[in-house]
Structure 1
């Protein structure tokens, strides 16, 4: 919603290039210009298959033909009198390849409009020759994979009206931006989203008095917002979001008469709002989310005549919301996660156009009655969760109703009795009363709520359903019900006849007993059933005929495995006490595409049945059992779907099956802690999606040699070969091929396995015998552990190219030579262990630039000289260097006999871990006996993570990524 104006401007910009030509009215374009275009086109290959916007990508230049009039070519516009090429629109034209500085495009000196957006120029620098096109009025090279510095010659384009360099990996250095602003005084549109500026916004920005669009999000801008912004009287769109701007809200920004969109979210702006404003009559959207604003919410915000969306969430706003006295068009108001106190103001009834209202996570108090909102007939969503001081007792007996209210969230409001006003919300479809202290639920409470589809009563630990009656009579459309963590001991009677239910969550209760064949069929329409973390002991059969997702993990189930019916696509029965062999009928499981099967953490034994019927399984977790024998052939069927395979902690032996090389969708392969006897699996290097390979604690042997294919393991993010018998030199070219560990800017904040709704991949970090569970593996996480093998020779300099590494462990080998200074390039590194080798020489001073380094172990080597000082190196203890008798200086006791710099002040802000791990605590007191690495952990199936948690983690991850880029 917040970027709603940009697409419309992009369309307008594209209209500059729309041109219907006719051979009868156009002269021929000059031959030299036609030839320049042909040569330009020949510089690139054409391939639309891998482009970001396949729906709008089109190979425009494929129709260009030498010897024909270029004025008739797709994307080309000529002057109607001279025939000179004056506009070129090759946006999303599937151009692929480097963009050389001597490109013949720069010969088209009559160009006024140039749009190269949405192509892939393979991280080419932006050529200074763009500055030769001095007739340009419009230039767009956004989303085109340009990188590097914006050339100073950009300032020569003094006629520019529109400039878009967004999303291309470019940066401004020195005074280039300031000089550009000084020279491009006619600019109307300036779009620089995610262009790294790392400076303050200059006061001269106020000289661009013709600006209508100023789009500068994620630019690493710091300092205050200049007051000169108030000079931009023509401004309609202003986005400075997700920077590092500080200071107070600029009063001048509230005096822009034409502005329609203002987004300052994700900065460090502080202070309070102006007491009153006289302008902003056109403002439609105001987004100040994620700042440090304080003070009261002023009444004039709710009186702006054009305001449609107001977002003040995640600040430090206090006090009650002031009363206001005007009816406004406001449709969306988000004020959650502040410290707003007092009652919900009665004047909120004037917001008659309101559709979404979120006041959650504040300190609201007083009684809340529906009559305060009775005039908000358009209201569809109301969120008041996490306001424990609000009271919901009815003060009025009137039957107020909100006919369009579809969603009501009152979770975490310390509610004891079911709120009376809820009973009259006849159109309600979603009701969240979770995390309260509700005692009783009765059927008559829902008499009028016949449209209710989703009901969340989870985490009401005192809830009693014994007298609930037949809820199914009053909730005929109920499809989703969560009673998780409600201290239930048995299935409520109404659940067996609630035919409309499709999703039922009963996890984390104390439901006991058995599901036997004598019980009648119930839940005939259930698609998702979560019974995990209960006390069930026996499941004799599965009575749910249409079930797709069934979770029985973490119960007390014993005996043999009862194979689920083929219709189930996700089945988890992990963390129980199942015994015996897996029946051959398991081969019938997985008729649905992207099926998931989790049998981990049981006592199952025997061999895995050899069957090809598992072709549709995407996620298979059998770890922590007693399976033995050879690993069966997977991916025999060429249409296999396998994405995650976890066989960790079993007794598999023999070689790896060659068929694994056919698993083209495989992302995670965890085979640690078995007895597999084989050489390094080179054939897996050609799997295009493989990101995690864990082979630790087996009997792998031989050399890991350099690959012939440069794209070998190109997407790998985690490699664990520890505790095997690998030998030979560390392969230089092997590290060169690990492209997935070589970048920071292109790493997306997500989780491995996120393409599946009900489970994600995880691992365990094992440090000094302690397991730290990463329940969900972030895609930004990168690690290499080749410890406890027989590798020899030097550490290749090429390891320094893997700049997204966070963990590197070469300990317990026979490595010699110096520590390469290139390791100082690993700007994301948090843990480095080179202990128990035969390394010599001094510790490179470049390592002091590793701002995130929390764990360092160089013990038991032959290092000499002064230990470097500064930043993180001032936090490491003597244990990091034990067994290196030639080292001197802090923190070891041996003096170097010369002046040594004192330890510097430690800046804690610079060393936050991406995963919140307290490395110093975990690793304190380690030595050569440390066994550091990855054990293949259990894969936890997760269902419906709370949205607030997901958002919080994503924001934290994005913050880490931004800081990583800062130190590149």
Structure 2
């Protein structure tokens, strides 16, 4: 009996071994032809090891899946490969985030795997390859994901043959587009689609009416994401009424307008995201309360003036609510406080007033709370310190005041990011767990608060103390702080030195003195260094030229001397901005700059640099701003160049106040493609600079330009701003017709040279031109009537030339005063006192002129001009400038970078600053 019991385990193991062996032998091996196709596909790419960290952090893919692919082994056991258990055919391939890099060939062996049902190639780098049409031959595909893989060109029409598709994701291929015919075919044939993700694809040619084809998917479509696709126009709200739709994302289509339906919503909706789309009008409809399955609602910038409807209280499942910048106002209905499941709430940039509602204390699950840019008057209420789950709190730009107690913030043990900027707090203390702290524009005086030194051994990551009244930080340790902004204070004494781990350091617009200490060489992690607008002296440390990560270096408006570091080389491959304007630098421009292939802004104006024109700069293909003004540059600018497309992206060039001679640099000007067609389809306002999405800290490039007769500092540079200034040199010869190709040019200044000949009629083609200065030259002949077609021209100076004949009349020319034509003894007609003949018609009276119409736009009219004219030319110009500077209109603020107080406050706020939106 005992022997029999002893045999039972042996018999059982033998049985299981036999069963396992039989089962294993019944599994088919991968077919040889498919194994060979996979290996060939693998070998057609290299491995991008730089993608390893990103894939590990964001996709939990720490190694390339193809590493396990070896010749002679069963491909059904390879990572990412799935085989049919009966036939052995490869039916699934998941190579997402597998570090693949290289060209995706049209005849790739991948397309030999005709039994594929699922294919995922997301998060690889196919180097701008056209999307192969042979994807359309994999007709068994049910799931296809090619997102974030750098495909380019048009989506092939054959993709519509994939009639079995249930999920299609082509998102985040920024150079991929779909045409209307391909869109129509795809939607009409793929009738089983449940998930369609086209975010980031160019759909600008698709009319909103064509989205009605989606009604063909009314019985299947569950998820639709078309964010940042360039859709524009008025969209029917029928898309919100698809019966099974659960996820809809139309965000970041700035020119797309949609009206929220007042009935027949898709009651299945769980996610509705309309960030940066536009409302066709009306308030938040009460029907929104029917969406009882909704738990993610994001309607920022949707402009829904009025109040929150009481029906919001029905959205009991809601965990994320974004109503940022919707023009909402009080009262908030009592039912709103029933949304107790909320974890993220954004009511910032609205018109709520009075104290912060105490009912917010009901939201005990909140992790992120945004109440900035409202009108909340009083202290931070005590109940807010009971929201113990908060990780991110933003209360900036309100009227909060009083004393913030340290012990109160100790209760918020999870708080990492805190923004109290632009308030009136007079005493503040905080929890040591903070990672980000923004106290900008809070009237903090004299020294940095002592409690900040407690963070020396704690993980404070970002600190913003800009726009305060600090005079000293001598007792403050910046150890371990990665992002520091101390700009726009009253700091005095020597330059404070950031730590070796600091990435962003700005102390611009202070009163710092002395040399830049060599100790700054230890801060080799710097990416942004802004020391501008101080009183620093001495040479620029050579080590700044070798910082490997430095992208923005701004030392303008100091008293620095010596030469520009000559060691700027390919080691600093990230350099995008070098601004040394307004110092006392000497010597030639170092040719080592040619190694900085990413350079976009180079400004060495207002120095003593002695050199010929640096024609070698034409090798910098990304250069957009070149300012050499007011130096000692000399000689003829060469008409030949080594590169194929020199200065093709240049949008601002200022060579004024030098000694350049010879003909105008027509060969270069002819190639200024950046001034021929500037971003007509650009969405929103974009500026040159560096922006940190995580911290919200921003570096914006600034330059000084001569605009409409005045020297003005642009505190930020629109990417669409274009100007050419070649004034006050020794250029000679005629004005070429090449200029008429620069149809996006806003300003042209060729004054104070030796230019002769006539003014070309073709200048009338520069429809965007706002100022034109050809004064103090040797121009002859008549003023072309074609110039009256320049509808945006608001400044014209043709004085001190040899022009003759009648001044053209009509449109903008009726607004210019006689100073525009002074010193041309043979000119006649309005506004000069010299009449051309007795029968000359008088121009329209000032009350009906275009200038009177501009009174509303510019903030001044004929009275201000008459006052100045009556008191003398000089006094009038001074008065005009004062009015221009103080009463500058909003369109000018937006276009040329001046700032209202509110815009300055917003400047440091990221546009998509919530962690949930990254």
TM-score in same-fold range (> 0.5): yes
Task: Report the alpha carbon displacement of residue 172 of structure 1 after superposing the two structures with TM.
Answer: 4.3
1:283, distance to aligned residue in structure 2 (A): 2.1
Q: Secondary structure, in 3 states, of the residue corresponding to 2:350?
A: coil
What is the CA–CA distance in structure 1 between the aligned matches of 2:323 and 2:301, rounded to whole Å? 8
Structure 1 counterpart of 2:786, from 835, 839, 843: 843
- Alpha-carbon distance in 2 for matches of 1:723, 1:24: 78
> 603, 615, 618: which one pairs with 1:685?
618
Of residues 244, 258, 269, the one that matches 1:210 is 244
Q: Report deviation, 1:752.
A: 3.1
Distance 2:581 2:408 in 1: 61
Kindly state the Cα deviation for residue 129 of structure 1 after the two structures are TM-superposed. Answer: 5.2
Q: Which of residues 602, 606, 622 is equivalent to 1:669?
A: 602
TM-score norm. by structure 1 comes to 0.62
Q: How does 1:906-917 map to 2 (within 5 A)?
A: none
* SS of the residue 1:253 aligns to: helix
For the residues of structure 1 that align with 2:278 and 2:814, how far apart are their CA atoms? 28
Residue 142 in structure 1 maps to residue 171 in structure 2? yes
1:297 to partner: Cα distance: 0.8
> How much has 1:402 moved relative to structure 2?
3.6
Is 1:96 aligned with 2:127? yes
Deviating more after overlay: 701-710 vs 631-640: 631-640
- Say whether residues 1:231 and 2:265 are aligned partners: yes
Taking the aligned partners of 1:199 and 1:881, their CA distance within structure 2 comes to: 43
| Aligned partners of 1:386 and 1:411 also within 8 Å | yes
Give the structure 1 partner of residue 85 of structure 2.
none
Offset of residue 210 of structure 1 = 2.1
Q: Measure the CA separation in 2 of the matches of 1:86 and 1:592.
A: 47
**1:242 CA displacement:** 0.7
Provide Cα deviations, 1:279-303, integer angstroms capped at 9, x if missing partner.
4232221211101223411122221
Q: Deviations over 1:309-352 (max 9, x none)?
A: 22222222xxxxxxxxxxxxxxxxxxxxx22x25743x444433
* Secondary structure of the corresponding residue to residue 459 of structure 1: coil
Of 437, 459, 466, the match for 2:443: 459
* Worse overlay, 715-724 or 753-762: 753-762
Aligned partners of 1:141 and 1:164 also within 8 Å: yes
CA distance in 2, matches of 1:88, 1:431: 40
Q: Assess, with a 3 A threshold, how the Cα gap between structure 1 residues 715 and 195 changes in structure 2: closer, same or farther.
A: same
SS for the counterpart of 1:766 is: strand
Deviation at 1:265, TM superposition (A): 0.7
Alignment partner of 2:907 out of 950, 953, 956 = 953
* CA deviation profile, 1:723-762 (whole Å, cap 9, x unmatched): 3424335435655365598546679845536689897653
| C-alpha distance 821-148 of structure 1, shift in aligned 2 (>3 A) | farther
Note the 1:202-601 alignment, pairs <5 A. Answer: 202-220=236-254, 225-227=259-261, 230-245=264-279, 246-276=281-311, 279-304=314-339, 306-316=341-351, 338-339=352-353, 341=354, 344-345=357-358, 347-357=359-369, 359=371, 362-364=374-376, 370=382, 372=383, 376-378=387-389, 388=399, 402=411, 404=413, 406=415, 459=443, 477=454, 479=456, 555=511, 564=517, 566-569=518-521
- Check 1:116–1:411 CA distance in 2 against 1; reply closer, same or farther (3 A cut): closer
Shift of 1:795: 4.7
Instruction: Indicate the SS of the match to 1:300.
Output: helix
Give a deviation string over 1:550-603, Cα, whole Å, max 9, x none: 96986596xxx5663x3335xxxxxxxxxxxxxxxxxxx987766969598769
| Cα distance in 2, alignment partners of residues 844 and 719 from structure 1 | 23
Distance, in Å, in 1 between the alignment partners of 2:292 and 2:763 is 59
What secondary structure is seen at the aligned counterpart in 1 of 2:519? Answer: coil
Q: Secondary structure at the match of 1:252?
A: helix
8 A Cα contact 2:304 2:328, kept in partner:
yes
* CA 284–172 in structure 1, closer or farther in 2 if over 3 Å, else same: farther
Query: Which consecutive unaligned segments of at least 5 residues does structure 2 have?
Result: 1-26, 76-87, 96-107, 882-898, 913-918
- The answer as to 2:555 corresponding to 1:621 is yes
C-alpha distance in 1 between matches for 2:743 and 2:244? 45
Q: Is the Cα–Cα contact under 8 Å of residues 730 and 794 in structure 1 kept in the other structure?
A: no
| Contact 2:698–2:907 under 8 Å retained in 1 | no
Matched, 1:702 2:642: no
Q: Once the two structures are superposed, what CA deviation does each residue of 1:848-896 show, in whole Å capped at 9, x if it has no partner? A: 4x6xx76566777789997785xxx599545697489999999999999
The structure 1 residue matched to 2:689, chosen from 752, 756, 761, is 752
CA distance in 2, matches of 1:277, 1:501: 37
Relative distance call for 1:256 and 1:875 in structure 2 (3 A) is farther
Query: What is the rounded CA distance, in whole Å, between the counterparts of 2:544 and 2:260 in structure 1?
Result: 66
Q: 1 or 2, which has the higher helix percentage?
A: 2
Q: Secondary structure at the residue paired with 1:302?
A: helix
> Is 1:823 paired with 2:738?
no
1:442 matched to which residue of 2? none
Number of the residue aligned with 1:727: 662
Cα distance 1:138–1:908, how it changes in 2: closer, same or farther (>3 A)?
farther
Indicate whether 1:118 and 2:148 are aligned. yes
Q: Which runs of 5+ in 1 are unaligned?
A: 1-21, 317-337, 433-452, 466-470, 482-499, 516-520, 570-588, 933-944, 959-968
With over 3 angstroms needed to count, the CA separation of the structure-2 counterparts of 1:404 and 1:729, relative to structure 1, is closer
Contact 2:528/2:699 (<8 A) preserved: no
Alpha carbons 2:374, 2:397 under 8 Å: kept: yes
Coordinate RMSD, CA, aligned: 6.5
Equivalent residue of 2:224, what SS? strand
The residue matched to 2:689 in structure 1 has which SS? coil
Deviation at 1:683, TM superposition (A): 1.3
Give the Å deviation of 1:392: 7.5
Alignment partners' CA distance in 2, 1:82 and 1:650: 65
Choose the corresponding residue for 1:194, options 221, 224, 228: 228
Taking the aligned partners of 1:30 and 1:550, their CA distance within structure 2 comes to: 56
- Rounded Cα–Cα distance in structure 1 between residues aligned with 2:806 and 2:740: 22
Q: Distance in 2 between matches of 1:523 and 1:534?
A: 15
Quickly say closer, same or farther: Cα 1:593–1:897, change in 2 above 3 A.
closer
Contact 2:516 2:540 in 1 (8 A): no
- Residue 20 of structure 2 corresponds to which residue in structure 1? none
Distance in 1, Cα, partners of 2:496 & 2:646: 45
Counterpart of 2:335 in 1: which secondary structure? helix
* Residue of 157, 163, 174 corresponding to 2:196: 163
Q: 1:634 to 1:623 in 2, by over 3 A?
A: farther
Check whether the contact 1:525–1:547 (CA below 8 A) recurs between aligned residues: no
Deviations 1:146-179 (A, max 9, x none): 4667314422333133322221232145465244
Contact 1:206 1:232 in 2 (8 A): yes
SS in structure 2 at match of 1:95: coil
